[in-house]
Structure 1
Amino acid sequence: MPKGEKVKAILFDANGMDREIAPLADVAHIPDKQIYWLIVSGQGAGKLPHPADGIDRAALRRGGVVVSDDRFCFSVPVAPNEGGHSEDAMILVVGRNWLVTCSDAPLSLTERYLEHDTGETLKGSLTAPALAVSLLLAHFDEFHTHLSAIEEKLDALDEQVFRSRQRHDPLNTLAVLRRRAARLRGLVAQHRSTIAALDRPDFGPAVCEEDRHHLTHLAGAYHRLVDTIDRTRDAVLSSYDLYATRVAQNTNRLLQRLTVITVGIGLIGALAGIFGMNFELALFKGEAPAFLMVVAGMAAIATVTLFMATRRS
């Protein structure tokens, strides 16, 4: 075993308990009611251990599906972290009743899968391709979890925009969410060629009809994931449109207020200009009472203007 590489072997037994065992040196005589799963993690020398020996790990990461008489293998990018980055890949080598998964670092996917789906299960009655499909479906669920988190943040942001209670500029949050959705979309797109190859009618001459049904189900789950990502991306854009509409509405309200206030100030200025003309009126003979009357009139105009502005808002 290369330095720094960790190996864990699981035996799924339909007639007993699923359990961890020592790595097998021979997988040719595994009974039909058992499946052998070898989990390899760590920076190895580039070659996979038995029964996946002879496969170049680095070459497999470049994409595609490699098919031989008794096995097929491919790689998929692992689910991203909270920032939307994925720097590792999971390699799957699938035989008749054995499965090998390999990654540079231990995967939370395999750990959760074993934690929740190991014990007195019927996985031993499955085939290795069916087990690989089950693992990939759990892999897709990780992407759905990230998408659900984005949608929850969008719902909270939309609620703030509807209530006009956003404390910070939502554009920064929308930019982050759109970037995360774009990264998820890019990672899911990297699965396209692999899923398409697995779903081809002429894929794997040794694959039975039941396993072809599972692979078709996997392709359907993948397309649903793509649709969910597209809807999430559209939801981000819709939230931006909602925010832009709210900003435009607030701008219109502000312009209405400014218009009413401007008209009121204009009326006050016109009234002051009229009484400031260079001719005498009988109204000014009383001086103090006339001044107070003009000031009161200006105050009344200002009050009415403010009332109209407040009522319109």
Structure 2
Amino acid sequence: MKSTSSASPSASPDHAAPEPVRALLFDAVAGNREVERLDQVLGLSPAQEQLLWIDLQDPDEAVLQTIARQYSLPEAAIAGYLGTQTNPALENCGRCFWLRVVAVADGPNDEYSGTVLTIIAGANMVLTLHRTPVEFLESFKEGKRCRGGMGTLGSGSFVAALLDWHLGTYFEAVSRFELAVERLEVDILSTNPRDCVPELRTLRKGASRLRRMLAPHRIVFTALPRPDFRPEEDEQTDRHFRALDAHYERAMDMVENARDLVVGSFELFSSQTALVANETMKILTFVTVVIGVLAVIGGILGMNFEAPFFKTGVLGFTVAVVLMLVLAAGSILLGRRRRWF
């Protein structure tokens, strides 16, 4: 995540606090312009071929209320941001609509945390609100800062673009998750496997966490393309919303597949554990057979019969011991040659 000081060229290196107002005015005719002062933002009135994007990180409530009054933003949206709710939401407020989503943020030890993002769309303007930095917003801003033509987009299409980047955080999280699973499976299939149960437990929790974070967004992504949600939207915006819903379904499929990957890795680990146990049992069985044969020989030699061999004394004892050692060594060589162990 880029620091706030790098986002503003005029900021000093010591300045770690975020700017109170950061805005981009996309103008298809005059070019894009960045605005960082509140009075300048309040003086903007985007017209046709223009789109104003205001991004506020943990803004002061007074600043937020001032911007809301200036652009006639719905009170429900402001209350939704200022409240404590974190679940995804979508509401149509007539001329405006607002929504709340949760983006994936990296956490320690492959754990996934969420960053709540509130988006308010009005006439030729979009307001994004978040209490902590949102990495994909910074990437989106850097990519669109100098790109022309953004002013021709309506606010609905611009929101669709932001939400598509929001879904990208889940695609990236699943990609990192799959990489972690692949590394674990390489360790499982190594010649010296280790206990992977703690890592499997962590991966299973991560997959469940991703699903719990993404699944509630269905109320947002399935409602946006419905004809009754924004009947006044143009066909281009409707196409963007329908494509966004398809991307959401793909993201859900990938998250569901992530859980299946963990199950497959556990089955692979169980199979490898069973193979190691089988090898151990083969060795133990072979040793038992060899010792059993030697015990039979020893038992025969211990019988109290008046056979000449039993009267040979030290020589007979030596011959018996050597015979048993040769038999044991021959059995081991035969077992190695036949790959019994």
Report if TM-score (shorter chain) is over 0.5.
yes
| Partner of residue 25, structure 1 | 42
* Structure 2: distance between partners of 1:140 and 1:309: 58
State the 1:61 CA deviation: 4.7
* Structure 1: distance between partners of 2:196 and 2:212: 24
| Partner of residue 312, structure 1 | 340
Which residue, 3, 9, 18 being the options, matches 2:23?
Answer: 9
| Partner of residue 101, structure 2 | 76
8 Å CA contact 2:87–2:216 kept in 1: the answer is: no
Say if 2:54 is the partner of 1:38. yes
| Partner of residue 154, structure 1 | 181
* Structure 2: distance between partners of 1:127 and 1:43: 25
* Structure 2: distance between partners of 1:45 and 1:32: 30
8 Å CA contact 1:8–1:38 kept in 2: the answer is: yes
**2:34 is aligned with what amino acid?**
E
State the 1:136 CA deviation: 1.3
Which deviates further from its counterpart, 146-155 or 117-126? 117-126
| Partner of residue 269, structure 1 | 295
8 Å CA contact 1:42–1:104 kept in 2: the answer is: yes
8 Å CA contact 2:107–2:113 kept in 1: the answer is: no
| Partner of residue 196, structure 2 | 170
Number of residues paired by the alignment?
A: 309
* Structure 2: distance between partners of 1:125 and 1:242: 53
Say if 2:238 is the partner of 1:212. yes
8 Å CA contact 1:260–1:308 kept in 2: the answer is: no
* Structure 2: distance between partners of 1:103 and 1:157: 35
| Equivalent position SS for 1:199 | coil
Say if 2:131 is the partner of 1:114. no
Provide closer, same or farther for how the CA distance between residues 150 and 61 of structure 1 changes in structure 2, counting only shifts above 3 A.
closer
* Structure 2: distance between partners of 1:278 and 1:285: 11
| Partner of residue 219, structure 2 | 193
**2:264 is aligned with what amino acid?**
S
CA deviations on 1:157-207 (whole Å, 9 max, x unpaired) are 2122223333x4111111111111111111101211111221222111332
In the TM superposition, 1:201-240 aligns within 5 A as: 201-240=227-266
8 Å CA contact 1:14–1:123 kept in 2: the answer is: yes
* Structure 2: distance between partners of 1:180 and 1:174: 10
**2:252 is aligned with what amino acid?**
V
CA deviations on 1:235-265 (whole Å, 9 max, x unpaired) are 1110000000111111112111111110110
Q: TM-score, normalised by structure 1?
A: 0.90
Which residue, 63, 88, 101 being the options, matches 2:128?
Answer: 101
| Equivalent position SS for 1:277 | coil
State the 1:225 CA deviation: 0.2
8 Å CA contact 2:24–2:145 kept in 1: the answer is: no
Which residue, 128, 148, 161 being the options, matches 1:134?
Answer: 161
Which sections of structure 2, spanning at least 5 residues, go unmatched?
1-16
Superposition CA RMSD, Å: 2.3
Provide closer, same or farther for how the CA distance between residues 117 and 309 of structure 1 changes in structure 2, counting only shifts above 3 A.
farther
**1:182 is aligned with what amino acid?**
S
| Partner of residue 90, structure 2 | 65
State the 1:20 CA deviation: 0.7
* Structure 1: distance between partners of 2:223 and 2:43: 29
